[in-house]
Amino acid sequence: MSKLPLSACEAAHQLAQRTLRAEDLVRDCLERIDAREPQVQAWTHVAREAALARAKALDQGAHQGLLHGLPIAVKDLIATADMPTAYGSPIYAGHRPANDATCVALARAAGAVVLGKTVTTEFATFQPNQSRNPHNLAHTPGGSSSGSAAAVADGMVPLALGTQTAGSLMRPAAYCGVVAFKPSFGGINRAGVKPLSDTLDTVGTIARNVPDAALFAAALGGRTSWLVRPLAEHVSRPLRVGICHTYEWAQALPETQAAMQNVADAIQANAGMVLRDVQLPVDYQLLAQAQTYIQLAEQAQCFAYERLNHWAQLSPRLQGIVQSGLAVTLEQYDQAQALVARCRAQLAQVFQDVDVLLAPSAPGAAPLGLDSTGDPVFCRIWTVLHTPTVNIPAGFASNGMPVGLQVVGPAGADAFTLSAAHALHACLDTSQN
């Protein structure tokens, strides 16, 4: 019997009890990859023999940690010493880093089986590579954590590593109908991840449900407090949820508008939750643009080597991004960072009467076509504010493609945000069944 329908948490329990073998779990993943990878194209490298050898060793040895025996995928922006790490660019074809990224090393130490590397867009920017959306191969899976979201959504692997600088976890998770968790800035160490932006880059996790994403992140962040717990262990009153359309709401498509209304209706029908409307401070009107300036400017600096030595091997799209970043003046950059500082100082005001916010993850469902990975407009402000966010699946568009919403918590309140996101996802599931 296939083990893939098991959640990662269920599998972890059975692996710890030795009622499930890591080898069987890995073989199930490999069978699914064999069946679907020619269509979905989520992987750049599958370490078949190494993964099986690792699984067999784990089955014979002592229990190693939270991730014992669980197969994981690693976004190809993240260094692995034993597998190619090309960052989605021909410049680094066949590149082998000297060591694992910190998050990979910690995952292995916690017992994970690294199944392989998943597709990223070019240097985690906007130029797509080969991955397709498993719900409809004619649609983008989003970016830049394209392969990670597609592989998890298609049942090829239960857990995957991703990164976010603007919307690279939330958007592909929303498009592919899975869960993603972006911790507060710095919550998971990013040493060994190809940098894009010093003040924005964040490592996160992708899974099929919130407890699984939290389990993975807890192992990487060294915080067992991140494991999902009942809300009653966090607060002794109803959960206060703020509906936050943001200043970008005009860009929300009908399916996102409908999803927000459906969740609002479900919250109002739940005795354990209270719904409130939240209007963001006036300064937040310019926050998405400020994030864009910061990201562009910092990317241009981070790509200095590639720009100066391999310009012709950058895609025209990335060349344009780098040129836009070089055009951002120091004055614009400093003003953007000053605005961000003011907005972060106002977060306490934003969360004064609510525990978490519910906001769009993307304008709508995954666009048709593979030349674009979609627009991160609804994610930019939360990334630059350094808040924890969780994408939860929230229904489907009229064409059957998934729609996601993000649960946003106060900076540093990762444990509570994960538990709240799980409760909201369960509330939505109950209302739809």
DSSP letters, 361-394, are: SSSSSPPBBSS-----TTTHHHHHHT--EEEEEE
Asked if residue 339 belongs to a domain, the reply is no
Residue 413's Cα: distance from chain center in Å?
17
Asked if residue 57 belongs to a domain, the reply is yes
Asked if residue 101 belongs to a domain, the reply is yes
Q: Which of 131, 145, 146, 168 is catalytic?
A: 168
Residue 4 pLDDT class (50, 70, 90 cuts) = low
What is 186-224 written as a DSSP string?
A: TSS--TTBPPS-TTT-EEEEEESSHHHHHHHHHHHHT-G
Taking the model in full, what pTM does it have? Answer: 0.98
Asked if residue 126 belongs to a domain, the reply is yes
Neighbour tally for 265: CB within 10 Å: 13
Q: Which of 89, 131, 144, 419 is catalytic?
A: 144
Nearest to 193 by CA among 169, 229, 159: 169
Q: What pLDDT score does 1 carry? A: 30
pLDDT digits (tens, 9 = 90+) for 186-214: 999 999 999 999 999 999 999 999 999 99
Spatial separation of the C-alpha atoms in residues 119 and 300, rounded to whole Å: 22
Spatial separation of the C-alpha atoms in residues 246 and 259, rounded to whole Å: 15
Backbone torsions φ then ψ of 144, nearest 5 degrees = -95, -10
2 pLDDT higher than 50:
no
Q: Look up 225 and say whether it is catalytic.
A: no
Asked if residue 66 belongs to a domain, the reply is yes
User: Where in the sequence is the domain holding 18, given as residue range(s)?
Assistant: 8-226
Q: Which of 75, 117, 182, 194 is catalytic?
A: 75
Q: Look up 75 and say whether it is catalytic.
A: yes
Q: Report the residue count for the chain.
A: 433
CATH of the domain at 76: 3.90.1300.10
Asked if residue 183 belongs to a domain, the reply is yes
Q: What pLDDT score does 428 carry? A: 86
Asked if residue 75 belongs to a domain, the reply is yes
Q: How many helices (H) does the chain have, and how many strands (E)? A: 15, 11
Asked if residue 201 belongs to a domain, the reply is yes
Query: Total domain count for the chain?
Result: 1
pLDDT digits (tens, 9 = 90+) for 211-264: 999 999 999 999 999 999 999 999 999 999 999 999 999 999 999 999 999 999
Residue 429 pLDDT class (50, 70, 90 cuts) = confident
Residue 96's Cα: distance from chain center in Å?
24
Q: What pLDDT score does 291 carry? A: 98
Q: What is the mean pLDDT of the chain?
A: 97
Contact 260, 245 (CB under 8 A): yes
pLDDT mean over 145-161? 98
pLDDT digits (tens, 9 = 90+) for 162-181: 999 999 999 999 999 999 99
Q: Look up 168 and say whether it is catalytic.
A: yes
